[in-house]
Amino acid sequence: MSLNKAFTIFGGTGDLTFRKLMPAQYNMTAANAEEAQSRIIIIGRRDYTTEQYCELVRDWVKKFARLPYEEKTFEVFAKRISYFKMDISDLNEYARLSEYYTAENIDDHVFYLAVAPKFFGVIASGLKAVKEASLGKVILEKPFGEDLESAKELNKQLETFFPAENIYRIDHYLGKEMVRNIQTIRFTNPIFANLWNSQYIESVQISAFEDLGIGTRGGYYDTSGALKDMVQNHLFQILSIVAMEWPEQFSTTAMHDAQLRVLRALRPVEDVRDSLVLGQYKGYRQEKSVPTDSTTETYAALRLFIDNERWWNTPFYIRTGKKLRCREMQIAIVFRQTFISAPRNILIIKIQPNEGVHLQFNVKTPGDTDEITQAKMDFSQSSSISSRINTPEAYERLITACIKGERSWFSQWDQIETSWDFVEHLKDLYRWDKLPVFTYEQGSDGPAEADNLLKRFGDEWVF
């Protein structure tokens, strides 16, 4: 263990830390990763000793770590952890934290802000005041602000405390195995690469279904809604990877620029009725911390266009929602028909829970007939236990990438700003037109109006 390095988590007793960050760090320890050669300093308000905290973590690791729980490994992992009690909103407390780092000879940092954005500023200025900020990187969780204005303000504030190149904005979808696979599938296979445009692709459909509701996050979720919680960040990241031009080089800047050009080319919406449907699941208003008259959307379906030569005539359909019939996320590329009577070729990239690729194409029906049958070929990447055990989870990859300084795995400020702007404007149009937020049954596919959004234009959802 490099004793001078520390991975400090602000919000050390929160859900994210227990469910994702600590299991990820455990996996990294178990895999003997170089990036696990650091101390883990947990900052929390509660009165725990390090030993008590480690006992809590043990249970979460057992439940959520990718790699099997082993007593010996856990002991090694636990030796990395120290609990430091402090009130993060009290600027005076940071001197004490700094003294602690000095006493422990720690001078190389990654700070993970697993807290609400309202604390980002105070933590950053606290760390800057005691000069620790200049010794490390900072990882932020979304939401980056509550709207475009507050996101801008937050960004400005952060950049006064940390150099821009040391700020890592996490979008955990970018760490998902099949999201990383999109470029390989697309660019390295001529059968897809050469057809990846409006001439051959009729529509692109990105669906992110969740079967769970909002759980105990009502307070946050009701101020956010599906558009800001899922579309503006995760789904726009995916859209920009699917649609981007071949980056001239695989450098971080070239990748980010290619993605940003897609977001900037999103066609401004003229008639919002043709572009957006919002829904809310029945029973949402009875969820904890949700006002009984809330109109926050738990479902959104969008029909968008990208104004460039490659995509001018291909709609991008996006939909996501909570309390739907299943948990499934996939990207469907629907190719145009060549013969009117033949079914369309469809390529499906399955992101989760199963990871893989599915291809539908046409063959002759066997026997004395010229009829056409659809052949369905499946490649399942996640079916074997060994592949699951060997594939790092999103947070594990992203923590590792940050420590290595690989920025292409993180969202850039200009991407966030562009997508905030687009989504906010879209939502305003919806409101100004006084369009309803349609209710839908729990366990369904969302409101029927989302199906009509496609039907009106002769399309239908593939999934």
Binding-site positions for NADP(+) read 45, 87-88, 142
The count of other CB atoms within 10 Å of the CB of residue 51 is 10
Q: How far is the CB of 97 from ligand BG6 (least distance, A)?
A: 28
Nearer to ligand BG6, 346 or 394 (CB): 394
Window 140-179: contact mask with ligand BG6 (x via CB under 6 A): --------------------------------x-------
Window 76-105: contact mask with ligand BG6 (x via CB under 6 A): ------------------------------
The count of other CB atoms within 10 Å of the CB of residue 386 is 7
Nearer to ligand BG6, 109 or 142 (CB): 142
> Which residues are CB-neighbours of 403 under 8 A, at least 6 positions away?
7, 35, 38, 110
Q: Is 213 exposed, middle or buried (0-12, 13-18, 19+ CB in 10 A)?
A: middle
- Positions marked active-site: 234
CB 228 within 8 A of CB 143: yes
Annotated binding-site ranges: 45, 87-88, 142, 172, 176, 210, 229, 322
202 touching ligand BG6, by CB under 6 A: no
329's tokens: 């996320």
Tokens 């959520």 identify what position? 64
Nearer to ligand BG6, 202 or 229 (CB): 229
Give the one residue of 35, 132, 177, 210 binding ligand BG6; rule: CB under 6 A. 210
Tokens 């994702």 identify what position? 20
229 touching ligand BG6, by CB under 6 A: yes
CA–CA gap between residue 413 and residue 407 (Å, rounded):
12
Q: How far is CA 159 from CA 69, 133, 162, 421, in A?
A: 40, 11, 5, 20
Window 334-363: contact mask with ligand BG6 (x via CB under 6 A): ------------------------------
CA–CA gap between residue 4 and residue 102 (Å, rounded):
10
Angle between helices 236-243 and 252-264 (to 10 degrees): 100
Q: How far is the CB of 43 from ligand BG6 (least distance, A)?
A: 22
State the first-to-last Cα distance of the chain, in angstroms, to the nearest integer: 48
Nearer to ligand BG6, 210 or 222 (CB): 210
User: At residue 294, what is the residue type?
Assistant: S
Nearer to ligand BG6, 212 or 340 (CB): 212
25's tokens: 């760090």
Please count the residues of this chain forming the interface with ligand BG6, following the rule CB under 6 A: 3
Nearer to ligand BG6, 217 or 425 (CB): 217
Residue with the shortest CB distance to ligand BG6: 229
Coil, strand or helix at 87: coil
Q: How far is the CB of 416 from ligand BG6 (least distance, A)?
A: 14
Q: How far is the CB of 290 from ligand BG6 (least distance, A)?
A: 14
> Which residues are CB-neighbours of 217 under 8 A, at least 6 positions away?
none
CA–CA gap between residue 435 and residue 422 (Å, rounded):
18
Q: How far is the CB of 229 from ligand BG6 (least distance, A)?
A: 5
Nearer to ligand BG6, 296 or 314 (CB): 296
Phi, psi (deg, nearest 5) at residue 7: -110, 105
Q: How far is the CB of 377 from ligand BG6 (least distance, A)?
A: 26
CA–CA gap between residue 138 and residue 167 (Å, rounded):
5
Coil, strand or helix at 450: helix
Q: How far is the CB of 210 from ligand BG6 (least distance, A)?
A: 5
CA–CA gap between residue 420 and residue 115 (Å, rounded):
21
Of 128, 86, 258, 116, nearest to 182 by C-alpha is 258
Q: How far is CA 399 from CA 35, 101, 112, 113, in A?
A: 8, 21, 9, 12
Q: Give me the residues that bind ligand BG6 (CB under 6 A), please.
A: 172, 210, 229
